[in-house]
Amino acid sequence: MEVSTQASARVAVVTGGMGGLGTALCQHLARSGMRVAATYSPDNDHVAEWLAQQRHDGFEFKAFRLDVTDFDFCQSAAAQIVAEMGAIDVLVNNAGITRDASIRKMTLDNWRVVLHTDLDSVFNMTKQVLDSMVEHGWGRIINISSINGQKGAFGQSNYSAAKAGIHGFTKSVALEVAKKGVTVNTVSPGYLRTSMVTKVPEEIIKTRILPEIPVGRLGEPDEVAALVAFLVSNDAAFITGANIAINGGQHMY
């Protein structure tokens, strides 16, 4: 891919950048010519190992400690990124967790922690970058939702509510900045070949998950990352407020 000089100077931030999808997102954005900052949660003790592996694979990322549930932490982390790397041009709100249980068994703490991590974080980080993007007349925000935010999932009322809320947020912010050169979009992946999914017993994957996916396989993190890389490019400037499903046909709407 030919990358322009302007694009090569852009700074992208990926929250939750050290998971399976997060790593793929960082790598694809770097391949498109961007300088990438990956954020990690305060309890992550594998940062040095992850950075070393990325360098081995040919990528030079910067890593920043971040509690996405804490607005003040997001503010200070964003300021640190800007001080070290320059203005943030691209934000990928990817951080998220699950705490699954049926609503009858779900605790208030597990409801709240998922909403704080998966939904409040999108507000917390978007607030830190949006004014600068508007001022510069260019910006891209991608919010990673989920198929389960579209169709629901047994035992995931907290996660599904958070992920559905993400797209409502996306649409409203997209309207507010549409004339300012800033696009805001949602990407909703289905089941991906990440460590979280591959920990599910193989029999469950074969008998319950794959039969629901028309293409007959799990998605690859790289496939989602390639979609995100397109959405943050100049070629996608006419796409905003969209929710793009990437789920192998498991949920069509």
pLDDT at 201: 87
Asked whether 166 and 149 are in contact (CB, 8 A), the reply is yes
Average pLDDT rounded to a whole number, residues 139-158: 96
Asked whether 184 and 166 are in contact (CB, 8 A), the reply is no
Which residues are marked as active site? 159
CA 173 → CA 63, 154, 230, distances in Å? 27, 30, 20
Asked whether 13 and 37 are in contact (CB, 8 A), the reply is yes
In a domain, 193, yes or no: yes
| CB-CB neighbours of 47 under 10 Å | 15
Determine the structural domain holding residue 89 and report its residue range.
5-246
In a domain, 252, yes or no: no
Q: Is the pLDDT of residue 3 over 70?
A: no
In a domain, 30, yes or no: yes
The mean pLDDT value of the chain amounts to 95
pLDDT tens digits along 19-66: 999 999 999 999 999 999 999 999 999 999 999 999 999 999 999 999
User: Residue 175's domain is classified under what CATH number?
Assistant: 3.40.50.720
Average pLDDT rounded to a whole number, residues 111-125: 98
pLDDT at 199: 78
pLDDT at 195: 81
Q: Is the pLDDT of residue 5 over 60?
A: no
Does the predicted TM-score (pTM) go above 0.85? yes
pLDDT tens digits along 157-205: 999 999 999 999 999 999 999 999 999 999 999 999 988 787 788 898 9
In a domain, 253, yes or no: no
Structural domain count, the chain: 1
In a domain, 142, yes or no: yes
Angle at 62 between CA 79 and CA 242, to 5 degrees: 75
Q: Is the pLDDT of residue 8 over 90?
A: no
Average pLDDT rounded to a whole number, residues 93-107: 96
Sign of CA dihedral 203, 208, 211, 212: negative
pLDDT tens digits along 194-244: 887 877 888 989 999 999 999 999 999 999 999 999 999 999 999 999 999
Q: Is the pLDDT of residue 249 over 60?
A: yes
d(CA 21, CA 9): 23
pLDDT at 224: 98
pLDDT at 4: 39
**Which three-class secondary structure string do you get for 131-171?**
HHHHHHCCEEEEEECCCHHHHCCCCEHHHHHHHHHHHHHHH
In a domain, 141, yes or no: yes
In a domain, 251, yes or no: no
